[in-house]
Structure 1
Amino acid sequence: MNIATWNVNSLKVRLEQVLSFLDKNNIDVLCLQETKITDDKFPYESFNDIGYNSYWLGQKTFNGVAIVSKYKSIKTLYNFPDEDEEQKRLISITLPSKIGNICVICVYCPNGQTIGSEKYEYKIQWFKKLEKTLKNKLIKNNHLIVLGDYNIAPNDDDVYNAKLCKNQILTSEIERKLFNNLIGLGLFDAFRLFKQPKCSYSWWDYRKSSFKRNIGFRIDHVLISCSLKERCQICVIDKSLRGLERPSDHAPVIATLNTL
C-alpha cells in the first residue's frame, strides 16, 4: 500500500497537481489537508473518474481535510467523537486488507500562531483531544496510521536552524512534548525508521525564497502503530512538487507498507 499525506493549501487551486501525483506515484490512499472548500464543492467526480473513493470534511476558506482511496471505507468518522468542532481538522476511515482492518486518520493540526496566544492554547487543547482519541483508537484498532500536517517539528534535525528556531512556534518545548505524547502511545514516525538525507523538510515559507534556500521545517508526518512498523518499507518526502508553478507550500510525504 502506498499511502501519502499532503497539505495542498487549496484543493481548488491544485486539483490537477493532486490528480497527477496520484497517477505518477500509484498512490492507494492520500490524506489531504487545507482543502479550503465546502462539502458541496468537493470534486469527488474528478477522483471517481480515476478510480478513487472520496471522504471529506470541508470548510470555506480555512482548514478542511479529505481522504481519497482506491479502497472503500467500511467506517468513516468526522472530527473528534461526540464533539461538534467548528474547525474541520480530522477525518478517519477504516479500510479492509489481507492483514486485517486498517484505520487511517487524516489530521490538520492547529498552527498556534504565536506562543502564549489564544490560538496557541487552542493548539495545546486540540492535541490533548487528539491524544485521547488515538489512545482509544489503538485499543480498538491493531493497525493504525495517522497522517497529516502536525505543525510541529519534533526534533532539531527537523528544522533548518535549530538555534534560531529554538522555542519558537512549531518547535517549542510544549509542542514537542505534545508530539512525543502521541509517540508514547505506541506510534512510530515512519520517516525516521529509515536513513534520510540531511536537511529533509516538508514545508517552506513562500517568502524569502525559502524553498530555493532550503529554509524549511519537517512538520508533515506519517505515524504508524507497532503492528505496521516492520511492514513499512520506505518513507520519503517528494520535494519535486514544491518546485512546480503555483505550488503548495508543503510537499507530500509517502510511505509504502506491505499489507499483503
Structure 2
Amino acid sequence: MKIATYNVNGVNGRLPIVIRWLQEADPHIVCLQELKAPQEKFPEKAILDTGYRAIWKGQKSWNGVAILARKSLEITEVQRELPGSENDDQSRYIEAIIDQMVICCLYLPNGNPYPGPKFEYKLEWLKRLKKRTGEFIKMDLPAILIGDFNIIPTPFDVHKPERWQDDALFRTEVRKAFAALIKKGWTDSIRTLFPEEKIYTFWDYLYRAYERDAGIRLDHILLSPYLKSRLKSGGVDKCVRDWEKSSDHAPVWIELTDR
C-alpha cells in the first residue's frame, strides 16, 4: 500500500498539478495540507473523477487539511480537530480510519515570528499532539502521523542550518518535541529508509532555492510500532516541485507491505 502526503499550497489554484500527480503516482491514501479553501470550495467532484473519495476540513486562510483514499477503500472519519482545546478554530488536523489504520493528517503551526504568541501556540499544539498520539502507542494501534510538521528535525535536514537558528521551524524546543515523539516509539519513515542521505521536501520560491537544492525537510510520515515492520520503501517526488506553478513542497510517500 502506497501512502503519501502533499502540502499543495492552494488546492484549487494548483488542482491540475494535484490531479496530474495523483494519476502518475497512484497512491492508495493521500494527506493534503494548506488547502486555502473554505469547506464548500473543496474540489470534491474533480477528486472523485480522479478515482478518490475524500474527507476534509477547509479554511480560507493558510490552513485546511484533507484525506484522500482510492474509491475501493472506506474512510471513517474520527476527528476534525486535535483534541485538547476548546478555542482552537484553525483547520490543522483531521483523523480517520482507513484499511484498519488510524490516519492522522496534520499541518502544524509555522510558529513564526519567534519569539511570540504564534510560537507559543505551536508549542501548545505539539503538547496536544503528543498526548493524543500517545494513546495510539499505549493501545498498540496501527497508526500514521503524516503531513507538514513545520519542523526541521536535525541540522542534517536543512541546507546551511546556521541560517535557521532563530526560525520557529528549527528552534531547539520544537526539535526536542519531535525527538520526544520518536522516543515514544514513532518511526521517522524517510530518515529510516535514507539514514545518510540529504533529503529535502521544501524549497523556497526565492533565491533559486530549488535550483541550488537549498531545501529543508518539513514533511514527515511517522509510523507507530505496530506498522514499523511493514515499511518497505519510500521517497520524495522531487520532480513535482519543478512542474510549472507547483507548490513549494514536494509529495512524500512510503509503501507498506501487505498485512
TM-score when normalising by structure 1: 0.94
Deviation at 1:41, TM superposition (A): 0.8
**Where does residue 103 of structure 2 map in the other structure?**
104
SS at match of 2:23: helix
Deviation at 1:73, TM superposition (A): 1.4
Q: Distance in 1 between matches of 2:40 and 2:169?
A: 33
Deviation at 1:172, TM superposition (A): 1.2
**Where does residue 146 of structure 1 map in the other structure?**
145
Judging changes above 3 Å, is the alpha-carbon distance between structure 1 residues 165 and 39 closer, same or farther for their aligned structure 2 residues? Answer: same
Write out aligned runs for 1:1-260 (5 A).
Answer: 1-70=1-70, 71-81=73-83, 83-84=85-86, 85-96=88-99, 101-140=100-139, 142-195=141-194, 198-260=197-259
1:128 counterpart letter in structure 2: K
Q: Distance in 2 between matches of 1:43 and 1:2?
A: 23
Contact 2:55/2:77, CA 8 A, preserved across alignment: no
Judging changes above 3 Å, is the alpha-carbon distance between structure 1 residues 23 and 253 closer, same or farther for their aligned structure 2 residues? Answer: same
TM-score when normalising by structure 2: 0.94
Q: Which aligned runs of 4 or more in structure 1 are off by greater than 4 angstroms?
A: none
Deviation at 1:75, TM superposition (A): 3.7
Deviation at 1:11, TM superposition (A): 0.1
Q: Distance in 2 between matches of 1:54 and 1:83?
A: 25
Q: Distance in 2 between matches of 1:44 and 1:140?
A: 34
Deviation at 1:231, TM superposition (A): 0.7
Judging changes above 3 Å, is the alpha-carbon distance between structure 1 residues 141 and 65 closer, same or farther for their aligned structure 2 residues? Answer: farther
Judging changes above 3 Å, is the alpha-carbon distance between structure 1 residues 82 and 154 closer, same or farther for their aligned structure 2 residues? Answer: closer
Any unmatched runs of 5+ in structure 1?
none
Judging changes above 3 Å, is the alpha-carbon distance between structure 1 residues 154 and 14 closer, same or farther for their aligned structure 2 residues? Answer: same
Q: Distance in 2 between matches of 1:186 and 1:255?
A: 18
Q: Distance in 2 between matches of 1:185 and 1:133?
A: 12
2:75 counterpart letter in structure 1: S
CA offsets, 1:140-189, max 9 Å, x none? 45201111000111011101012332353211110101111221221010
Judging changes above 3 Å, is the alpha-carbon distance between structure 1 residues 66 and 237 closer, same or farther for their aligned structure 2 residues? Answer: same
Deviates more, 1:249-258 or 1:71-80: 71-80
CA RMSD of aligned residues (A): 1.5
The count of residues paired between Structure 1 and Structure 2 equals 256
Q: Distance in 2 between matches of 1:168 and 1:77?
A: 30
Any unmatched runs of 5+ in structure 2?
none
1:21 counterpart letter in structure 2: W
Deviation at 1:93, TM superposition (A): 0.8
